[in-house]
A and B are shown apart, each in its own frame.
Chain A
Amino acid sequence: MADVLAALAGSSGVLLATLLLAWTASASYVVATGRPGGDALLHAPRETARLLRQRRRTTLSADRLLWRGSGWSLLLVAALLVALVPWGGSALLPGSLGVVWANTLDIVVWALVWLLGWGANSVVGLVGGYRFLALALAYELPLMFALVAPALAAGSLDLAVVADAQGTLWYAVWMPVAFAAYLLGVLGFAVLGPLAAPAGPETGSGVLAELSGPDLLVVDAGRYALLGAGAAVAVPLFLGGGAGPWLPGAAWVLLKALLLTAALAWVAGRLPVLRVHRLMEPLWTVWLPLVVVQDLVVAVVVVAGR
């Protein structure tokens, strides 16, 4: 009985944290586009009310199961990512392979965004879906190699162990390239900011073009939640987890996650959308080798430290 209650409390905590992160991300994003703070804070509740009141629509011969299913799954993936984060020692989904699971979940987003574009049976949706695949190829490899760095330094794939291994010198400080590659990957799987081309205004919102009402609401919420969840996973990976003075560990994790979410969403909101076919080259010929060199540096430091 106590186990069930603890699991229920943990799940609702994770859900609440996911929604709080999503709200923070949306508010910060809206501030970045030049709206006043009050408007930004009210943006999420107003959009929720607006889209809940809006009617659902469908397109001719839409693949409705995959279309709607993929849209609603984005939030689920974000919640699962948050569940991997150790909040002051214990995660809802603890495991010795947390880093691998985080990577797996971000790859699930590939399928979800593509299906979102495919399911609507619309030209711009499909164009958006394929743009996402091209974009994902560009950001995913640097992201994977970025995940290698903290795991290598800590000698573990367990997020709690990675967090504890950092001590006073956070990995973000001495692995800046890996940290940056990770954050770029977060923007990629959240389809926001510079990597929002699959849903960009120049293709009439791409994968989002045919969505309306609650179906659009969950996708928009899912994108902001994915940004927040990615930032939350970065806390044990790069920002020392729950380490910090005075406050309990869980509070530090939440505080760091919210601050990183706000900062990342603000930067994303300021930047224009990059063109997909211009990204592959710099990301693979410059960015990827830099991240690999970062891994090499970490490996050398680890070996020298033994």
Chain B
Amino acid sequence: MGLRDLAVRAATARPRVLVVEMPGGALVRMAAERELDRRGWPVGTAPGSADVLLLAGPVPESLAEAVGLLWDQLPGPRARACPASPDDVARELDSAQASLRDDPQQRADARERDREPASSWVEDDMDHGDMDHGDHDMDHGDMEMAPGGIPLAEGDDDRDGLEMDVLVHPLGPLLDRWPGGLELRTRLHGDVVAEAEVHRPAAEAADDVPAPVATWDAVATVLALVGDEVWARRARGVRDQHLGLGYAAGDERSVRAHLSRLARAHVLPHSVADVLGRLLDGRLDPAAHRLDDAALSSLLAGHDLGDVRLLVAAHAPLLPLVRSAGVGHG
């Protein structure tokens, strides 16, 4: 006991949690958001400053390697919470917090990582990379330049005919506020997504999310993405009411009025507000309308990175993410 203990308790009182949904883990993710709201723990948007990595739902084999990479991005002290079902969330968060408070364990983790040469936060010794470079023939020198192992961007004409650097930038499969396991391989011109190649995960179990819950979840995610935390929490309250958890008093009408205010102020792109409106009115039925890969890809092309995040969040109820072996989809 003493000052050190007090500092550790203060540091871990409100750990920052990066919530990543696994394929089929939407209900677990919603339970996690509910529990984090209740505790007042902030939700992280970047692994670089997160303390806890929460993987909502069982991790499929195909994502295990990606999860390992993401886990390496957490600077530490770090803890992992892996609730497989909504009932596990509170217990997993408690044990994550206890693990953050366990100084000897965190020190051991840090020492272990210092020994790994390729740990992402240890500055890599890049000298050999540069030395290599001299051996190549210099004809296509520009193409082969790879400072730090990262190839330089190629140029291409963007939508306005200006030559821009083209970057290949993946969105997902592990991202906060993002449909579980969805992967977009985008080509960026500046911050505009020129094209997006869609990959969806295969998962064993389909999520059984009722349509109004999925819709209100999309509303809450979009509001959280535009930084409107107060209204995002209200939308989550409405969503939880539809889940039969009535303790959060949500008011559907006021949230809907707020959505149209945001649309008028252009805080939400027109297409996002439109889709949310149609989902809320029931004119767009998540059970009947489904976006396939090509439709999603053409929907996203030409938008900037921020709008792409909003569009994906708004269309999440229409994305049949789960392609389980038994059930096909149209």
Using a CB–CB cutoff of 8 Å, the interface residues on chain A facing chain B are: 32-36, 39, 42-43, 45-46, 49-61, 121, 123-124, 127, 130-131, 196-197, 200-205, 208-213, 216, 269-275, 277-278
Contacts and interface: CB of A to CB of B under 8 A. Distances in A.
A53 B8 contact: yes
Which 9 residue pairs across A and B have the least CB separation, nearest first? A57-B121, A61-B148, A272-B228, A49-B11, A49-B10, A273-B227, A212-B75, A202-B306, A278-B266
A111 B141 CA distance: 32
Contacts of B147: 61
A81 to B, nearest CB: 25
A45 B10 contact: yes
Given A50-B12, A201-B225, A61 B126 contact: yes
Contacts of B150: 60-61, 121
A56 B49 contact: no
A202 B75 contact: no
A209 B225 contact: no
Contact of A202 (B13, B76, B124, B226): B226
B75 A53 contact: no
Specify which of A123, A131, A200 lies most central, judged by the most chain B CB atoms within 10 Å of its CB: A123
Contacts of B73: 57
Contacts of B48: 57, 209-212, 216
A46 B191 contact: no
Contacts of B14: 39, 43, 46, 50
Contacts of A200: 226-227, 306
A60 B149 contact: yes
A54 B51 contact: yes
Nearest to A131: B191
B256 interface: no
Given A211-B48, A272-B228, A60 B148 contact: yes
B110 A275 contact: no
A129 to B, nearest CB: 10
Contacts of B307: 275
A166 B51 CA distance: 50
B211 interface: no
13 contacts: A36-B40, A39-B14, A49-B7, A61-B126, A130-B190, A131-B191, A200-B226, A201-B45, A201-B225, A203-B306, A208-B46, A272-B223, A274-B266
**Residue from the set A39, A121, A127 with the largest chain B CB neighbour count within 10 Å:** A127
A121 B148 CA distance: 11
B46 A202 contact: no
A197 B304 CA distance: 13
A273 B11 contact: no
B310 interface: yes
A32 B149 CA distance: 44
B298 interface: no
B305 interface: yes
- Tell which of A35, A216, A272 has the most Cβ of chain B within 10 Å: A272
B188 interface: yes
A272 B226 contact: yes
B266 A127 contact: no
A215 to B, nearest CB: 9
B269 interface: yes
A272 B51 CA distance: 25
A53 B77 contact: yes
A212 B49 contact: yes
Contacts of A197: 306
Given A202-B305, A277-B304, 14 more contacts: A46-B14, A50-B10, A50-B11, A50-B12, A52-B11, A53-B11, A54-B49, A123-B188, A130-B190, A201-B224, A204-B45, A273-B267, A274-B266, A275-B307
